[in-house]
């Protein structure tokens, strides 16, 4: 059986990868192939802090390879039409078809059409030499990379020209027989792939791996499938292999836009992986625990070259992310009942839990505060406009869920006394939120800055609903806000600031747009509190919102459903939680 030709999953995703904005990539790979008009570019999902320390410098860095054209036998660029699949890009030119596929995570294979053709590109590298079967280009200095090209076709031309200090131009011409190919190996390492395999075998192997990945996913209702398998494509192509501080194979929030492992993103990603690969799911948790600090703190993010535990903007403070690790770990356990995993992670999570209560409760009232806006994951939310620290209902809700999960974990591993204690503490923190933050007059839980209420209305002010521990009359008031069209029940709910709040801005990140993780958490909260109909309505609207687009984005306009200009493409947790909601919707309609 040929997966390349017959896999229904691969056929379903034909041309779904739009190379103008979405990279063709592969599990474990740092390579991202794009196409602009008739030429291609290869960017690397690597930050290169040693060259450019600014946190988003890699987004502006020129591609490693650009202006990559296929040419005719005379070196003239050819027009190209592409057809993309998860496992290959077919490039149709007047001189025949070139097919690009991954040989391994560092190596692209180009199957050449028989006859005389060629290829040219520019590479932002500073050295190069040719040899009998290809050549080697290098970046030297603080960051070292090698680009090695090798072909088994006869070379009719092979030239590297230097166009400047860090720009080389390559021209090659081929006289290819059927089955000849070119390898493009891009690597920081010093061992190069120069053995050219048979292209059919490489393409078939890539097809098989992708097919098996999709086939392992639980089936969902037909109308959801196009977006569902695309979401699974994101969940596999967004993975990078381990390197230095990136201690495990890990999912990027977006290979194009966010290179690194962010703490709470990793937890949402793990939820999706638990349906197909438990080790991968658990590794998303382990990579954060690998970097737990002496005092129990878990970093905001992990990059190849180090971890983020402190930032100096917009305020100088330690930075982490919402405590959802225990909540996630329990969901993983419910899937495979692996007690050993709970034993592995219990103590680190207990240390993390006590870090919150010992270092983040300045007024000692048993409710914690954020000291850095980014610790909330809601970077620019108006909740932080009045300054830090902020004692907020979302954080204390997560802590309640964490205590509840710790109680279940402790019980499962036989730590009975601990379990009792965590269960009591979970109830206590929920009670404290009601006493300190609940406002009967407005029907909101207010966040507090130095004891003063922050009067901005966000879904996070409704989050205590998630604890499942509120008196019914309070829960009813929260759900009334949530389902009020003037506030949160827009066409594509839930906006991250109430629509009728003066600070509502539907295009700016956490100041108005709809985020899939917020909806996912609310769906769960509504369900456990007994609002099954509202939960279903929110779930279905969320699925409809994601399903409107070819790609899956970081956040959405809550009224039009469109992509705000700055929202990242191929976004991990939106894909992961779309998967979650789609599976749930298909199980219980």
Other Cβ atoms within 10 Å of 56 Cβ, number: 12
Binding status of residue 268 toward ligand GLC by CB under 6 A: no
Binding ligand GLC by CB under 6 A: which of 58, 149, 214, 258?
258
CB 82 within 8 A of CB 35: yes
Q: Find residue 159's DSSP bridge partners.
A: 171
Our finding on whether 262 is near ligand GLC (CB under 6 A) is yes
Query: Is the omega angle on the peptide bond into residue 467 within 30 degrees of 0, that is, cis?
Result: no
Question: Which 3 state secondary structure label does DSSP give 150?
Answer: strand
Closest CB 381 distance from ligand GLC, rounded Å = 9
CA torsion angle for 204, 206, 209, 214 (degrees, to 10)?
A: -100
Task: Indicate the residue among 253 and 323 with the shorter CB distance to ligand GLC.
Answer: 253
402: tokens are: 């964490």
15-39 burial: b if 16+ Cβ within 10 Å, else e: ebbebeebbbbbbbbbbbbbbeebb
Chain centroid to CA 87: 20
Question: Which residues have a Cβ under 8 Å from the Cβ of 451 and sit 6 or more positions away?
Answer: 363
The reply to whether 90 sits near ligand GLC by the rule CB under 6 A is: no
Q: Which stretch binds ligand GLC (CB under 6 A): 256-264, 289-297, 332-340, 390-398?
A: 256-264
Stretch that binds ligand GLC, among 232-240, 262-270, 359-367, 555-563 (CB under 6 A): 262-270
CB of 199 or CB of 393, closer to ligand GLC: 393
* Min CB(386)–ligand GLC separation in Å: 19
253 contributes a contact to ligand GLC by CB under 6 A: yes
Question: Angle CA(490)–CA(494)–CA(499) in degrees, nearest 5?
Answer: 55
- Cα separation of 258 and 517, whole Å? 17
Rule CB under 6 A: choose which of 379, 386, 501, 540 binds ligand GLC.
379
Task: Give 3-32 as a DSSP string.
Answer: HHHH-HHHHHTTTTS-TTTS-B--TB--EE
Q: What are the φ and ψ backbone dihedral angles of 261, each rounded to 5 degrees?
A: -115, 115
* 11 versus 56: smaller Cβ distance to ligand GLC: 56
Q: Nearest approach, Cβ of 360 to ligand GLC (angstroms)?
A: 18
Among all chains, which residue has been given the structure tokens 């290169």? Answer: 48
Question: Which one, 262 or 446, has the nearer CB to ligand GLC?
Answer: 262
Nearest approach, Cβ of residue 411 and ligand GLC (Å): 31
Least CB distance from residue 172 to ligand GLC, whole Å? Answer: 39
Which position among 264, 273, 489, 553 is part of the footprint of ligand GLC (CB under 6 A)?
A: 264
**Could you give the 3-state DSSP secondary structure of residue 230?**
helix
Q: Please, are residues 265 and 322 in contact by the beta-carbon 8 Å criterion?
A: no
* Spatial separation of the C-alpha atoms in residues 410 and 391, rounded to whole Å: 28
Tell me which of 113, 118, 323, 377 binds ligand GLC, using CB under 6 A.
377
State which residue, 58 or 264, has the beta carbon closest to ligand GLC: 264
Please select the residue that binds ligand GLC; options are 90, 265, 415, 487, rule is CB under 6 A. 265
Give the single-character DSSP code of 491. Answer: S
How far does CA 140 lie from the centroid of its chain?
31
CB of 258 to ligand GLC, least distance (A): 5
Distance in angstroms (rounded) separating the CA atoms of residues 364 and 341: 33
Q: What is the smallest separation between the CB atom of 394 and ligand GLC, expressed in angstroms?
A: 12
Q: Give the shortest CB-509-to-ligand GLC separation in angstroms.
A: 6
Question: Which range of residues in 101-109, 189-197, 261-269, 526-534 is near ligand GLC by CB under 6 A?
Answer: 261-269
Q: How many residues bind ligand GLC (CB under 6 A)?
A: 7
CB of 551 to ligand GLC, least distance (A): 16
Structure tokens belonging to residue 385: 């406009």
Cβ closer to ligand GLC: 264 or 352? 264
C-beta of 378 vs 400, nearer to ligand GLC: 378
Peptide bond preceding 314: is omega within 30 degrees of 0, i.e. cis? yes
Instruction: With contacts defined by CB under 6 A, name the span among 141-149, 257-265, 480-488, 541-549 that binds ligand GLC.
Output: 257-265
569 is a contact residue toward ligand GLC (CB under 6 A): no
Buried b / exposed e over 118-151, threshold 16 CB at 10 Å, is bbbbbbbbbebebeebbbbbbbeeeeebbbbbbb
Tokens representing residue 491 in the block: 């066409």
Nearer to ligand GLC, 55 or 474 (CB): 55
Rounded Cα distance, 493 and 55, in Å: 31
* Cβ distance to ligand GLC smaller for residue 42 or 509: 509
Beta carbon nearer to ligand GLC, 328 or 425: 328
Choose the stretch contacting ligand GLC; rule: CB under 6 A; options: 10-18, 207-215, 259-267, 342-350. 259-267
DSSP output for 32-59: EEEEETTEEEEEES---TTT--STTHHH
Nearer to ligand GLC, 327 or 346 (CB): 327
> Min. distance of Cβ 297 from ligand GLC in angstroms?
16
**Length in residues, the chain:** 589
- Torsion, Cα of 475, 477, 478, 483 (10° steps): 120
Phi, psi of 215 (to 5 degrees): -65, -25
Q: Which is nearer to ligand GLC, 227 or 574 (CB)?
A: 574
- Site map for ligand GLC, 319-358, x if CB under 6 A? ----------------------------------------
Least distance from ligand GLC to the Cβ atom of residue 356, Å: 18
State the residues that interact with ligand GLC by CB under 6 A: 253, 258, 262, 264-265, 377, 379
């Amino acid at each position: 059986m040929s997966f390349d030709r017959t896999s229904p999953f691969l056929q379903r995703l034909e041309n779904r990868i739009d190379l103008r904005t979405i990279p063709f990539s592969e599990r474990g790979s740092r390579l991202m192939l794009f196409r602009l008009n008739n030429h291609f570019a290869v960017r690397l999902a690597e930050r290169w802090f040693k060259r450019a320390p600014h946190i988003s410098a890699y987004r502006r860095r020129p591609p490693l390879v650009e202006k990559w054209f296929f040419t005719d036998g005379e070196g003239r660029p050819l027009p190209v039409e592409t057809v993309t699949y998860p496992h290959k890009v077919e490039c149709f030119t007047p001189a025949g078809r070139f097919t690009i596929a991954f040989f391994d995570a560092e190596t692209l294979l180009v199957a050449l059409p028989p006859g005389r053709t060629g290829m040219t590109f520019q590479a932002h590298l500073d050295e190069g030499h040719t040899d009998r079967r290809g050549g080697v280009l290098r970046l030297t200095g603080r960051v070292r990379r090698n680009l090695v090209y090798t072909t088994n076709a006869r070379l009719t031309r092979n030239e590297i020209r230097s166009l400047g200090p860090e720009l080389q131009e390559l021209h090659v011409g081929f006289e290819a027989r059927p089955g000849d190919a070119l390898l493009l190996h891009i690597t920081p390492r010093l061992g190069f792939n120069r053995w050219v395999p048979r292209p059919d075998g490489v393409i078939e192997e890539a097809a098989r791996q992708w097919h098996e990945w999709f086939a392992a996913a639980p089936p969902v209702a037909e109308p959801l499938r196009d977006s569902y398998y695309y979401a699974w494509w994101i969940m596999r192509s967004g993975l990078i292999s381990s390197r230095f501080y990136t201690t495990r194979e890990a999912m990027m929030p977006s290979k194009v836009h966010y290179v690194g492992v962010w703490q709470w993103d990793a937890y949402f990603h793990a939820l999706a992986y638990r349906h197909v690969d438990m080790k991968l799911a658990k590794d998303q948790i382990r990579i954060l625990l690998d970097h737990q600090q002496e005092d129990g703190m878990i970093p905001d993010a992990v990059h190849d070259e180090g971890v983020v535990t402190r930032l100096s903007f917009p305020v100088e403070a330690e930075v982490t992310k919402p405590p959802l690790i225990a909540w996630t770990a329990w969901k993983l356990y419910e899937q495979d009942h692996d007690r050993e995993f709970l034993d592995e992670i219990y103590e680190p999570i207990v240390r993390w839990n006590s870090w919150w209560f010992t270092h983040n409760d300045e007024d000692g009232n048993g409710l914690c505060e954020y000291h850095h806006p980014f610790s909330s994951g809601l970077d620019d939310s108006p909740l932080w406009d009045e300054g830090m620290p902020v004692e907020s209902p979302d954080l204390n809700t997560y802590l309640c869920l964490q205590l509840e999960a710790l109680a279940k974990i402790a019980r499962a591993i036989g730590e009975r006394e601990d379990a009792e204690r965590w269960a009591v503490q979970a109830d206590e923190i929920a009670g404290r939120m009601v006493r300190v933050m609940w406002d009967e007059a407005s029907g909101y839980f207010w966040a507090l800055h130095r004891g003063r209420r922050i009067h901005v209305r966000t879904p996070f002010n409704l989050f205590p609903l998630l604890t499942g521990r509120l008196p019914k009359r309070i829960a009813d008031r929260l759900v009334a806000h949530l389902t009020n069209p003037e506030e949160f029940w827009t066409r594509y709910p839930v906006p991250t600031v109430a629509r009728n709040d003066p600070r509502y801005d539907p295009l700016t990140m956490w100041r108005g747009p709809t985020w899939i993780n917020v909806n996912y958490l609310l769906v769960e909260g509504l369900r456990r509190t007994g609002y099954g109909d509202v939960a279903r309505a929110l779930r279905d609207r969320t699925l409809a919102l994601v399903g409107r687009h070819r790609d899956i984005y970081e956040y959405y306009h809550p009224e039009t459903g469109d992509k705000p200009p700055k929202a990242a493409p191929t976004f991990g947790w939106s894909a992961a939680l779309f998967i979650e909601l789609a599976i749930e919707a298909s199980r219980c309609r």
